[in-house]
Chain A
Amino acid sequence: MIDPFTLSLILIVALTLMGASVGLAMIAGSFVYLIFKGFDPSIASETLLQGLFNNYTLLAIPLFILAADIMNIGSLADRLLRFAQALVGRFRGGLGHVNVVSSLIFSGMSGSAVADAVGMGKIIINLMTRDGKYSHSYAAAITAATATVGPIIPPSIPMVLYAIVSDQSVGFLFAAGMLPGLLMALMMGVMNYVMARRHNFPVDEVVPMRELPGITWKALPALMLPVILLGGIYGGIMTPTEAAAVAAFYALLVSALFYRSVSFKDFYQALLGSARSTASVGVLVAGAITFNYVITRENLPVSISEFLGQYELSRFWFLIVINLLFLALGMVLEGGAILLIIVPILIPSVRAMGIDLVHFGVIVVVNAMIGLITPPYGLLLFITANITKQPVGRIIRDVWPFIIALLVALMVITFVPDFVLFLPRLLGYQG
């Protein structure tokens, strides 16, 4: 007789491999577990309903999605681009650097790498490929790569998901992402410089310094959002969840008042699109919450912790193994799925190793983001391929240098916890 837990695991894996919704597969697996255990199957529906109802932090997700969708209908992206161009366009590989900087600024307003790639992607790719300055595939590759910074710099939807499963503070996680995000951007800037020298990429038209104040002024409303968000959260004025609503409100206000670019129809489409994304990611969250009941009941995290304990891995090797595991998972799984399914199982092991959970959160999210640009399932590659109408294969060829740059950043992030935890500690984090 096969035991109910194994049966439910097999069912979930089989259903997902057969193309069923991952969230539904996990709910179905939980039902089957309860039935074969001889328990009341309604425990699963109860866990699902109560879990969604009682996790207030999760509510940041729909509002951050909405904020990004509103920013993407406005002409905010144009202004930011102009600002970044004035700032770094003058260096070799100029538009590549503009790409890095504008992604960095955009990431301070949106919590999603995909929103980042869509918001800036189309415009910057057009700019880079006009007059044949850069190849389409290089423009697509660097756009996909720089978008990964989006959820590392706060705000961040993946960090919210991690906060839920690890029971850590969203505020400290946001703060912990700051320096790593800057480091990643720096590494990609360096890589762009190296590539620019090798391929002799042009310098962009130099924007005269005297125009800089005017351009900055025009971009200022957009540049203020990160300040408002972070100031609000760390000043104790609002919770991260409320900050998400403020971000959406601010984006709407700025787009409508200053840039006059949002119609009622646009706003409705943004609402509907965000609500639709929320529902599909919400069912994944619901599945994870439900199956988490089964996992906890079976004491799986503790068993894994004991299993790993046998090998007496040092912290160094444990982190190496974890990184390899997550990079491999990132090749085939979505970021959200990794965070919601794999992370809860590993938390006790991480704790047993004495690794700080805020630090671990940043490691995991960076891994998940690198997973978005690694073949075969690299979502950002598909998106930029779609924008440029280039075959994904060619973009993959050009994205490798950036993956290497990001892996170097990942090593620093993994092995220098003080670097990651510097800002959270400054804000009062005890860890």
Chain B
Amino acid sequence: MEQAKSIWNWLGRRAENILALLLFSMFVTFILQIVFRYFLSLPVGWTVEWVTIAWLWGILFGFAFVVRESDVIRLDIVYSVMPYGVRRVMDVIAGLTIAAIFLYTLPASWDYIDFMMRERTAYIRIPFFWVFIVYIPFAVSVAVRGLMTAWAGLRGTGPTAVPDTRAETHDYD
């Protein structure tokens, strides 16, 4: 059990590394793009494409593996004033609903992504399949987390999401 936990934590930190690296690559690519275009007059199609891929991956991969429950943007005005028992019921219903919907639509989404094997991106020429595939772990993670929320609600062990008002979770507002 101890060992499983330490492997889990290790994986979590590697996921953080990847996410930070994605943003770093966006940052560097943008700077390159400006240098290429204005100082070297070189074409820059691939830079635009790379940053959009990194952005898409950053969001879906990041939400799946790095974002904590407390970072998630929610509207807690009703939820937070409910008594503990009601919140548990809400957790179970919301968790199960989200999990059910994302699991039920997974095959259809897979079909679409699989179909996109035939189309390639304009500059880097990789099949869109490899760009969009990140949706699958995202959807699975959403479903698993939904089930975990529901399970915690059933057993009454969950933190029942306390909204986070720490600043660093909101630096886009």
Cβ-neighbour of A279 out of B59, B94, B170 (below 8 A): B59
- Interface stretch of the complex, out of A56-64, A131-139, A191-199: A56-64
Whether a CB of chain B sits under 8 angstroms from the CB of A403 is no
Chain A residues within an 8 Å CB radius of B30: 63, 241-242, 244-245
Against B, the Cβ 8 Å flags (1 = close, 0 = not) of A113-141 are 11101100000000000000000000000
How many angstroms from the CA of A335 to the CA of B73 in the assembled complex? 11
Q: Which residues of B contact A282 (CB under 8 A)?
A: 55, 58-59, 62-63
The residue from B90, B142, B173 contacting A114, defined by CB atoms under 8 A apart: B173
Contact A56 B112 (CB under 8 A): no
User: Once bound together, how far apart are the Cα atoms of A118 and B67, in whole Å?
Assistant: 21
Q: Indicate if the CB atoms of B62 and A279 lie closer than 8 Å.
A: yes
A42-B112 contact given A281-B172, A383-B167, CB 8 Å threshold: yes
Whether A22 contacts B59 by the Cβ 8 Å rule is: no
Assembly CA distance A167 to B26 (angstroms) = 24
Instruction: Mark B160-172 against chain A: 1 for CB-CB distance below 8 A, else 0.
Output: 1100011111111
Complex Cα gap A161–B108 (Å)? 30
Of the listed residues A35, A48, A283, A332, the one surrounded by the most CB atoms of chain B closer than 10 A to its CB is A283
Across-interface contacts of B94 in A (CB, < 8 A): 15, 18-20
Chain A proximity of B87: nearest CB distance (Å): 7
**CB of A240 to closest CB in B, whole Å:** 12
A45-B135, A118-B167, A242-B33 are contacts. A286–B59 as well, Cβ < 8 Å?
yes
**Complex contact A65–B58 (CB within 8 A):** no
How many A-B pairs with Cβ below 8 Å?
236
- Complex Cα distance, B172 from A61, in Å, reads 8
CB neighbours (8 Å) of B19 from chain A are 272, 275-276, 279
Q: Which of B53, B74, B90, B131 has the most CB of A within 10 A?
A: B74
Pair B108/A41 contact, Cβ less than 8 Å: yes
Q: Is the CB of A372 within 8 A of B75?
A: no
> CB-defined interface of B114-125 with A at 8 Å, one 1/0 digit per residue?
000000000000
User: Do A376 and B75 form a contact, CB below 8 Å, given A248-B27, A283-B63?
Assistant: no
Main secondary structure of the interface of A (DSSP, over half): helix
Q: Residue on B with the closest CB to A15?
A: B94
CB distance from B64 to the nearest CB of A (A): 9
Q: Is the CB of B38 within 8 A of A237?
A: yes
Q: Are A44 and B105 in touch, CB under 8 angstroms?
A: yes
At the interface with chain B, which of A24-32, A85-93, A210-218? A24-32
The 8 A CB mask of A354-380 against B (1 = contact, 0 = none) is: 000000000000000000100011010
Interface size on A, residues (CB 8 A): 85
When the two chains form their complex, are residues B38 and A278 in contact, meaning their CB atoms are under 8 A apart? no
Q: Are A277 and B170 in contact (CB under 8 A)?
A: yes
Cα of A381 to Cα of B38 in the assembled complex, Å? 43
Rounded to whole Å, the gap between the CB of A284 and the closest CB of chain B is 5
Give the chain A neighbours of B20 by CB distance below 8 A: 268, 271-272, 275
Q: Does B140 contact A (CB under 8 A)?
A: no
Nearest to B72 among chain A residues (CB) is: A21
Residue of B23, B66, B73, B104 near A23 (CB, 8 A) is: B73
Report whether A22 and B105 are in contact in the complex, using a CB–CB cutoff of 8 Å: no
Is A376 a contact partner of B165 (Cβ separation < 8 A)? no
Asked if B101 lies at the interface with its beta carbon under 8 angstroms from chain A, I say yes
- The answer, among A15, A35, A279, A334, for a CB contact under 8 Å with B173, is A334
Q: How far is the CA of A157 from the CA of B171 in the complex (A)?
A: 10
A382 within 8 A of B: yes
Judge whether B55 and A62 touch: CB under 8 Å.
yes
Knowing A59-B55, A245-B30, A286-B59 are in contact, say whether A272-B16 is a contact too (CB < 8 A): yes
The answer to whether the Cβ of A204 comes within 8 Å of any Cβ in the partner chain is no
In the complex, are the beta carbons of B52 and A56 less than 8 A apart? Answer: yes
The answer to whether A112 and B105 touch across the interface, beta carbons within 8 angstroms, is no
Residues of B within 8 A of A (CB): 16, 19-20, 22-24, 26-27, 30-31, 33-34, 38, 48, 51-53, 55-56, 58-63, 66-67, 71-80, 87, 90-91, 93-95, 97-98, 101-102, 104-105, 108-109, 111-113, 131-132, 135, 139, 142, 160-161, 165-173
Interface set of A (CB-CB < 8 Å, partner B): 11, 15-25, 28, 31-32, 35, 40-42, 44-46, 48-49, 52-54, 56, 58-59, 61-63, 65-66, 68-69, 112-115, 117-118, 151, 157-158, 237-238, 241-242, 244-246, 248-249, 268, 271-286, 332-337, 372, 376-377, 379, 382-383, 386
Listed by A's residue number, 28 A-B pairs whose Cβ atoms lie within 8 Å are A15-B94, A15-B97, A18-B90, A19-B76, A19-B79, A19-B91, A24-B98, A42-B108, A53-B53, A53-B131, A65-B171, A65-B172, A69-B171, A113-B173, A114-B170, A241-B30, A242-B30, A244-B30, A246-B31, A249-B27, A272-B16, A274-B171, A275-B23, A276-B66, A276-B71, A277-B168, A334-B170, A383-B165
